[in-house]
Amino acid sequence: MLLRPSPTDLRLIAHDLGRILAVVAAAGLLPLGWAIARGEWAAAGWFLLMIGTAAVPAAAAEFLGWGSRRQRVDWSHGLVVVALTWLVVPAVGTLPLWLSRHWGRWLDTFFEAMSGITTTGLSLVQDLDHLPESVNLWRHTLQFLGGQGIVLAALTFFSASGALSMYQAEGREERIFPSVISTARFIWLVSVIHGVVGVTVLTVDGILVQGFQPVRSFFHAINVFMAAFDTGGFTPQSTSIAYYHSALYEGVLAVLMVAGAMSFGLHHALWNRRRGLLQNLEVRTILTTFGILLAVTIVGLGTSGVFTRAAALTRRGLFQVLSAHTGTGFSTVSTTELSRWSGLAFVGITVAMALGGMSSSTAGGVKSLRIGLTVKAMADSIREALLPEGAVVPDTFRQYGTQRLTPRMAQSVMAVSLLYVGLYLLGAAVGYAYGYPLDQALFESVSASAAVGLSVGVTAPGMPVLMELVMILQMWIGRLEFVAVFALFGFLASLAVGE
């Protein structure tokens, strides 16, 4: 029997959502400040409207004291808050996008905001190159908020009971420190240090190599940094990273993409000189898949004759594989050119997108730890079948120490991996039903579900509404890794039929 949530439960959820909206309002100050500094007065008005829209319910929930009767907060409460957050925040975030009139219909702005917050990077913007700078900055800020974890951002400022469930519901499994707040602060520290270094180098490159004015160079650097470190993939210009024609720029972004796809636990281990990291199952898995898929893509591109010189083949091939495997979605080749990559190169990029980065990173996809554990579980089963009866197959693996792969853990890992495969196939089926070639429909579906953002041209203004809705759903479910979404559906069911 389902228990209907009480009015107090609903108030608590509204209160937590209010606090998260307060963070959105605070984040809106960044593009507002930029709009004022650059004299984009109309855009400044749009941001004021958005900040007000976010701040009023936040203040109301606080003023009405809806969080004051916080008693027992169960696990599902946090999951529901997170699932709702990732619908409400993009809805509020659409306001400046919609008012800028660079999107065809409101649903396109919701798609854009969802793509931003889930760090996907697929875009339906029209005439991106003439979008007001502050609105462009807001697109990238959404990616930064989403990559860091919007709920995590709120937890940094507001302590809350149920923090652990909210933290884990955002797709982060490991706590680096015993306290979620300390873990959140460490994540911010890593981001700030990468940000300072990344933005400085990119700004200097922009000024010295590309001849940008300092302010313009800084604008590009900060946007591209947010999209790279948070494996988002939005760029300020329509030609993505090809716009910069700079090997140094691409090199810096490659480092930032790798950093973004690394788990924050690995960052902590590297910072503290922990030894034996190459023994970790997740590190071994991602290095192996990177190596294999890079080789597959390079061989595919080389044999198909797309590139005739080794240097060009290395530069384009490596950047695309890195972009796909880290879930970023930057591109140094045009959409048309990418759609012509066939055979092994197409397979290499698509599989790289599907696998994704590390767990507890800003990347999406199935994640390397699940891949490693799935392979280990299967290998153990085969070994058990081949060895004599009674032989013991060790069920341990290395991941920051020795851990045991229990049957329950193996089942859970395989279930989530299968759900991802199902999500990939769902979008491919819908795209195919609308008449897109199967390979292109699958590519775009994987790109949306694994929060990558590479496109072969299927995602475009005017795409079918149902397909757009399915891709929004894929981005939302894929980013939250299913559990929080299922909890929300259960909560809604208990509201409807609970007693």
Q: Least Å distance between CB 321 and other proteins?
A: 8
Minimum distance between the CB of residue 155 and other proteins, rounded to whole angstroms? 21
Cβ at position 255, least distance to other proteins in Å: 5
What is the rounded CA–CA span in Å between residue 114 and residue 453? 12
- Is 270 a binding residue for other proteins by CB under 8 A? The answer is yes
Helix (H, G, I), strand (E, B) or coil at 396: strand
- Smallest gap from residue 205 Cβ to other proteins (A): 15
Q: Does 351 bind other proteins (CB under 8 A)?
A: no
Residue 417 CB partners (closer than 8 Å, separation 6+): 366, 370, 371, 374
Give least dist CB 226 to other proteins, A: 17
One-letter identity of residue 70 = R
Least distance in angstroms from the C-beta of 449 to other proteins: 25
Who contacts 394 (Cβ-Cβ below 8 Å, separation ≥6)? none
Shortest reach from residue 258's CB to other proteins, in Å: 5
Q: Residue 262 interacts with other proteins (CB under 8 A)?
A: yes
Query: Interaction with other proteins in 296-335: which residues (CB under 8 A)?
Result: 298-299, 302-303, 305, 307-311, 313-314, 317-318, 322
* Shortest CB 262 distance to other proteins, Å: 7
Which residue, 255 or 347, has its beta carbon nearer to other proteins? 255
Distance CA 217, CA 377 (A): 49
Report the distance separating Cα 235 and Cα 183, nearest Å.
29
Shortest reach from residue 246's CB to other proteins, in Å: 15
DSSP secondary structure code for residue 278 in this structure: G
Residue span binding other proteins (CB under 8 A) among the ranges 175-183, 293-301, 455-463, 473-481: 293-301
* Amino acid, single-letter form, for residue 179: S
Three-class SS state of 214: helix
Nearer to other proteins, 309 or 404 (CB): 309
Residue 103 near residue 125 (C-beta atoms within 8 A): yes
Where helices occur in 100-148 by DSSP H, the ranges are: 106-117, 133-148
Stretch that binds other proteins, among 108-116, 160-168, 255-263, 489-497 (CB under 8 A): 255-263
Q: Is 294 in the site for other proteins (CB under 8 A)?
A: yes
Q: Which of 135, 258, 345, 467 binds other proteins (CB under 8 A)?
A: 258
Contact residues for 105 (Cβ-Cβ < 8 A; gap 6+): none
Between 97 and 258, whose beta carbon lies closer to other proteins? 258
* Residue of 106, 157, 271, 489 that binds other proteins (CB under 8 A): 271
Per rule CB under 8 A, is residue 251 in the interface with other proteins? yes
| Residue 357 sits in the site that holds other proteins (CB under 8 A) | no
- The dihedral of CA 376, 380, 381, 386: what is its sign? positive
How many C-beta atoms lie closer than 10 Å to residue 444's C-beta? 26
Q: How far is the C-alpha of 144 from the C-alpha of 198, rounded, in Å?
A: 14
User: What's the Cα-to-Cα distance from 315 to each of 304, 310, 325, 350, 435, rounded to whole Å?
Assistant: 16, 9, 16, 18, 34
Q: Does position 254 bind other proteins by CB under 8 A?
A: yes
In angstroms, rounded to a whole number, what is the distance separating the alpha carbons of residues 413 and 36? Answer: 48
Binding of other proteins at residue 194 (CB under 8 A)? Answer: yes
- Binders in 37-76 for other proteins, by CB under 8 A: none
Residues linked to residue 403 through DSSP beta bridges, in sequence order? 397
Closer of 26 and 255 to other proteins (Cβ):
255
The whole-angstrom separation of Cα 420 and Cα 275 is 33
CB of 357 to other proteins, least distance (A): 13
Q: Is 190 in the site for other proteins (CB under 8 A)?
A: yes
Residues that bind other proteins (CB under 8 A): 189-190, 193-194, 197, 251, 254-255, 258-259, 262, 267, 270-273, 290-291, 294-295, 298-299, 302-303, 305, 307-311, 313-314, 317-318, 322
